[in-house]
Amino acid sequence: MIRKTLWMTVIVLAIAALNGCKKQTPPPAPAQPAEPAKAVQEVKNEADKEITSENLDAELDKMEKEVDADIAAEQ
């Protein structure tokens, strides 16, 4: 009786050990952005060239629409 119990214990422990040692695949790497992010100075330089006192209101409206579209896309 003790031998049977001992063998059953060994078998159960061996199965548990074999199942616990499965090799797991690593999670997939995050996707890289299509284009690298611009440095703050580059963005400022572009803004200085594109935004003038004459088109300030139009550019502000354009930026507000872009922000609103981004917010709507996230929801």
CB atoms within 10 A of CB 51: 15
Domain spans in the chain, listed from the N-terminal domain onward: 39-75
Per-residue pLDDT of the chain (75 residues; tens, 9 = 90+): 788 888 889 888 888 777 766 667 777 777 776 677 778 888 888 888 888 888 889 988 998 999 999 999 888
Quote the pTM value.
0.41
Residue with tokens 């580059």: 42
Q: What are the angstrom distances between the C-alpha of 3 and each of 6, 7, 12, 14, 17?
A: 5, 6, 14, 16, 21
**CA 47/CA 56 separation, integer angstroms:** 11
Q: Which two tokens stand for residue 16?
A: 């548990």
CB atoms within 10 A of CB 17: 9
**CA 13/CA 32 separation, integer angstroms:** 44
